[in-house]
Chain A
Amino acid sequence: MNKKTSSRDIFISGLWEDNPVLRHVLGICSTLAVTNLVANTLVMDAGLIFTLSMSCLTVSILRSYTPLRIRMMVQTLIIASYVIIVDILIKAHLPDISDALGPYVGLIITNCIIMGRCEAFARNNPPWASFLDGIAVALGYSFVLLAIALVREPLGFGTLMGYQVMPEGFKPWNIMMMAPGAFFMLGLLIWFIRARFPRTEGEQINGCT
Chain B
Amino acid sequence: MKNSLVSIAYMFLITFLFTSLVSAVKFFNEEKILNNEKTKLQKVVLHVLDISIINKADEEILQLFESRIRVKKNLNDVKYYVAYENDVETISGYAFTVGGSGFWGPIEAIVAVDDKLSKIKGISFYKHTETPGLGARITEKWFTKQFEGLSLHPVSAGEKMFYLKPLGSKTDEKDLDAITGATGTSRAVENFLNSELDIILKNFDPLRKG
A complexed with B: yes
User: Taking beta carbons and an 8 Å cutoff, which residues of A are in contact with B?
Assistant: 33-34, 36-37, 40, 62, 65-67, 69-70, 73-74, 77-78, 81, 84-85, 88-89, 91-93, 95, 99-100, 102-104, 156-157, 174, 177-178
* Chain B nearest Cβ from A143, distance in angstroms: 21
By the criterion CB–CB under 8 Å, are A95 and B132 in contact? no
The listed residue (B3, B6, B133) touching A177 by CB distance below 8 A is B133
B133 contacts across to A, CB distance below 8 A: 36-37, 40, 156-157, 177
- 29 CB contacts below 8 A, A to B, read A36-B133, A37-B133, A40-B132, A62-B14, A65-B10, A67-B3, A67-B6, A67-B7, A67-B10, A74-B10, A74-B11, A74-B14, A78-B18, A81-B18, A81-B21, A85-B25, A88-B22, A88-B26, A88-B33, A89-B29, A91-B33, A91-B36, A92-B29, A99-B40, A102-B128, A102-B132, A156-B133, A177-B134, A177-B181
Interface flags for B1-43 (1: CB within 8 Å of A; 0: not) read 0010011001100110011011001100100110010001000
* Chain A nearest Cβ from B127, distance in angstroms: 9
What secondary structure prevails in chain A residues at the interface with B? helix
Closest to B134 in A: A177
* Chain A nearest Cβ from B12, distance in angstroms: 11
Bound form: Cα–Cα A157–B133 in Å: 9
- Asked whether any CB of chain A lies closer than 8 Å to the CB of B101, the reply is no
- Asked whether any CB of chain A lies closer than 8 Å to the CB of B188, the reply is no
A74 contacts across to B, CB distance below 8 A: 10-11, 14
- Asked whether any CB of chain A lies closer than 8 Å to the CB of B169, the reply is no
Closest to A85 in B: B25
Bound form: Cα–Cα A74–B10 in Å: 9
Bound form: Cα–Cα A65–B14 in Å: 11
Closest to A178 in B: B181
B52 contacts across to A, CB distance below 8 A: none
By the criterion CB–CB under 8 Å, are A84 and B22 in contact? yes
Lowest 10 CB-CB distances: which A-B pairs, in order?
Answer: A92-B29, A36-B133, A81-B18, A95-B36, A92-B32, A67-B7, A70-B7, A91-B33, A92-B33, A85-B25
* Chain B nearest Cβ from A166, distance in angstroms: 16
Instruction: Name the interface size band of chain B.
Output: 20 to 34
- Asked whether any CB of chain A lies closer than 8 Å to the CB of B180, the reply is yes
B36 contacts across to A, CB distance below 8 A: 91-92, 95
B29 contacts across to A, CB distance below 8 A: 88-89, 91-93
Closest to B28 in A: A92
Bound form: Cα–Cα A65–B133 in Å: 45
B67 contacts across to A, CB distance below 8 A: none
* Chain A nearest Cβ from B180, distance in angstroms: 6
Bound form: Cα–Cα A103–B102 in Å: 14
B134 contacts across to A, CB distance below 8 A: 36, 177-178
* Chain B nearest Cβ from A78, distance in angstroms: 7
The listed residue (A40, A73, A84, A91) touching B11 by CB distance below 8 A is A73
Closest to A86 in B: B25
- Asked whether any CB of chain A lies closer than 8 Å to the CB of B152, the reply is no
- Asked whether any CB of chain A lies closer than 8 Å to the CB of B193, the reply is no
By the criterion CB–CB under 8 Å, are B181 and A102 in contact? no
The listed residue (B7, B26, B40, B180) touching A69 by CB distance below 8 A is B7
B138-195 with Cβ < 8 A to chain A: 180-181
Bound form: Cα–Cα A129–B3 in Å: 30
Bound form: Cα–Cα A62–B26 in Å: 24
* Chain A nearest Cβ from B134, distance in angstroms: 6
Known contacts A77-B14, A81-B22, A89-B25; A102/B32 CB under 8 A: no
Most buried by A among B25, B40, B133: B133
- Asked whether any CB of chain A lies closer than 8 Å to the CB of B129, the reply is yes
B98 contacts across to A, CB distance below 8 A: none
B91 contacts across to A, CB distance below 8 A: none
- Asked whether any CB of chain A lies closer than 8 Å to the CB of B136, the reply is yes
Closest to B105 in A: A103
